[in-house]
Structure 1
Amino acid sequence: MMRRRTLLATAAAAAAAQIASPLRAQSWPNRPIKLIVPFAPGGGTDFTARLVAEKLTARLGQTMLVENKPGAGGNLGAEVAIKSPPDGYTYLSISGSYAVNSILHKPSFDSLEDIAAIGQYTDEPFLLVAHPALPARTLAELVALCKREPGKLSYGSSGMGGLTHLTTEFFLDAAGIKIAHVPYRGTGPALTDLLAGNVQLLGGGSTTFLPFVKSGKLRALATSSSKRLAAAPDIPSYAEQGYPTLDFNLWHGMIGPKGIPDEIVNRMNRELDSVLKSPDVSNRLADDGVIAVGGPPDTFMATLRSEVERWQTFIKRTGIKLE
């Protein structure tokens, strides 16, 4: 009899949970939603998150609050978000560095298995830019210069293990050349030294570099985009210069903790997709050479898995470490 009562109680609890989940989803959202940005204010991830949050606030009827939690290469804010209750009220805005951090920084969570993918915001091409005094206007000329005068050039980055570091090393590895790496504490200081001629090369997002390229203060040698940028059609791609595997872009997107009800994930994804496809958002991003992506959660999850695999293979083969 006792065993029978226990079984009945368990079944009743399970049934109640199944009923409660749709009810919670139907009433969502009924309070403000938090979007954590794991970097300091002012960067590309912060800008994109605030643009998306502003538009989602209007569509959801609840305020989406952006909260910056920088530290540990982005893992501090990521840990807070991913370990939050999966009730649909806490999300994380991520960039391409999320895939790298899962390998180099070894966070306390599983970057693929402990999350719910919501959707991809954008795809921003990388540019490899040079100081105008550099006597190379193409990748072929750069490679020839490095082989002719080894040890002469240096490139900057936003720091060891960051995307500006790893994407440049990806190119150097493919080209079979060596250029001295000078890490900085962020893209800003690296850009300042590039403009001053203290380093000769720097990689980064198109939104950061295009204004300097258009003004003639920097020269763009290549873009990672598969097609030339509408905002800068004179910049050749890596692929058309003989490097088809250098198709990495600086993407941004939204994830949440694993366990968010499917109804909430799908609603958030639909609203996000509508925001990104709206002309005011897509055109605003396109002016900087950035593509508004959108699409279903499964597609974004596939992108995450592919990116982790790509960088895991590269880092393991080259032995790059945070030293």
Structure 2
Amino acid sequence: MRKKTKAFLSGVTLAMAVLFGAGTPALASDNYPTRPVKFLVPWPPGDLEDVLTRLIAEEMSKESGKPATVVNRAGGGGVIGATSVANSRPDGGMIGSLVVDLVTTQVQAGNTPYAMSDLEPVGIFLDYPMTLVARSDAPYNTLAELATYSQTHDVSLGHFGYEALPTAITFKAAKDVGIKFASDAPFDSLDCSTLATGDADVITANTITVLACLKSGDAKLLTSFTRNRLSISPDTPTLAEETGITITAWNGLFVRKGTPESVKEKIAMYAQKALKTDRAKDVAKSTGAGIFWIGEKEAKKVIAEDFETTRELMSSMKGK
């Protein structure tokens, strides 16, 4: 009798746990978001991922009725912000807008306190219009001319950090075409002022951060690290055309491992709506950015492939 009573009570306890405990997260995720959401951008405001993430946050706020805001937490080549996402609760309360480096090169270099598996992609939405930019009065207009000039003159490079993919691409290209950089330095932000102040002669930069000096004629593009020539500068050859290097830098939305699928689906839904708006299309047109949506399943394949591809690029960074 006691055994039956104990078994009955255990069954009741289990049923109540399912009803009031284990079942609660599922119900909450179905109604996501039920509380304010933070989108974390691990860079200063103003770059492409920041602009587009703000559009996504606005769409979520409008559609869900819950506040969704963007927090910029720069530092450590993006690792500080990405770590906050990796350490967040797996409930969609914090969503990272993270560049490819933070799940590939930075992890490979041992710079992250998190493993790649601690973060799960919701989707990839941006191919950066990454470029190599110089002042307009620089005595070179192409990579070949820069290579020749650098043999007899000091040329300084400004970049995003040694574990940043665009940096690895830049050094690989320099090696391939014979560019000699007398010095180089990492910057959290690379824009027109970096060139104007003489902090660097050449910089790797997104077009959006240098549009002002490109339009004013104070800066010029030497090449772009993109699949196709930029719409804003169709005469500028791509790095693929000049060197055969085809890998690009992308950005995606990530959440903590274990976040419910229903939550990730909701985030993806809001993101896709935002990326189809006229405002997003205007960003693509004015900057040359590649804006699209690659869902979770395909994004995981892209990350796995890029993780292996970047190993070779990172090997060219040894000694830096």
Summarize deviations over 1:204-238 as a string: whole Å, max 9, x none: 11112233223221121111122111222121112
Q: 1:305 to 1:164 in 2, by over 3 A?
A: same
Pick the aligned partner of 1:123 from 111, 121, 127: 127
The 3-state SS of whatever aligns with 2:127 is strand
Q: 1:192 to 1:28 in 2, by over 3 A?
A: closer
Deviation (angstroms), 1:276: 0.6
Distance 1:60 1:305, change over 3 A: farther
Q: Which amino acid aligns with 2:115?
A: D
Distance 1:214 1:145 in 2: 25
1:90 aligns with 2:89: no
Equivalent residue pairs, number: 314
Query: Separation in 1 of the partners of 2:293 and 2:23?
Result: 31
**Structure 1: 5+ residue stretches without partners:** none
- Aligned-partner Cα distance in 1 for 2:255–2:31: 19
Query: What RMSD in Å do the two structures reach over aligned CA positions?
Result: 3.0
State which drifts further: 119-128 or 100-109: 100-109
Question: What are the ranges of 5 or more consecutive residues in structure 2 without an aligned counterpart?
Answer: none
Alignment partners' CA distance in 1, 2:79 and 2:105: 11
CA contact (8 A) 1:121 1:253 kept: yes
Match 1:102 to one of 81, 104, 107: 107
Residue equivalent to 1:299: 298
Answer whether contact 2:91 2:260 (CA < 8 A) is retained: yes
Structure 2 residue aligned with 1:225? 226
Query: How far 1:119 moved relative to its partner?
Result: 1.7
Letter in 2 for 1:308: F
Task: State how far apart, in whole Å, the 2-side matches of 1:66 and 1:132 are.
Answer: 35
Decide whether the 8 Å contact of 1:130 with 1:220 is kept in 2: yes
Deviation at 1:265, TM superposition (A): 0.9
Asked if 1:245 corresponds to 2:245, the answer is: yes
Instruction: Assess, with a 3 A threshold, how the Cα gap between structure 1 residues 320 and 114 changes in structure 2: closer, same or farther.
Output: farther
Counterpart mapping for 1:1-323 below 5 A: 5=7, 19-98=23-102, 99-111=104-116, 113-146=117-150, 149-150=151-152, 152-188=154-190, 191-196=192-197, 199-241=200-242, 243-249=243-249, 251-320=250-319
- Residue 245 of structure 2 aligns to a residue whose secondary structure is coil
Q: TM-score, normalised by structure 1?
A: 0.83
Structure 1 residues 283, 45: CA separation in 2 closer, same or farther (over 3 Å shift)? closer
Measure the CA separation in 2 of the matches of 1:222 and 1:51. Answer: 29
Contact preservation (8 Å) 2:157, 2:201: yes
Shift of 1:164: 5.0
Paired letter, 1:295: I
**Is contact 2:90-2:256 (8 Å) kept?**
yes
Residue pair 1:277, 1:294 contacting (<8 A) in 2 also: no
TM-superposed CA distance for 1:123, in Å, is: 1.4
1:278, distance to aligned residue in structure 2 (A)? 2.2
Separation in structure 1 between the aligned mates of residue 72 and residue 137 of structure 2, nearest angstrom = 38
The residue type equivalent to 1:86 in the other structure is: P
Identity of aligned residues (%): 25
In terms of mean alpha carbon deviation, does 274-283 or 176-185 score higher? 176-185
Name the CA shift for 1:171/1:118 in 2 (closer, same or farther; >3 Å).
Answer: same
Distance 1:320 1:298 in 2: 36
In 2, the alpha carbon distance for the partners of 1:9 and 1:186 equals 57
Q: 1:165 to 1:55 in 2, by over 3 A?
A: same
Question: What does the per-residue CA deviation read over 1:101-144, in whole Å, with 9 as the maximum and x for residues that have no partner?
Answer: 22335322112x11221122321221112223333222222334
* Residue 7 of structure 1: how far off its partner (Å): 9.2
Distance 1:304 1:276 in 2: 21
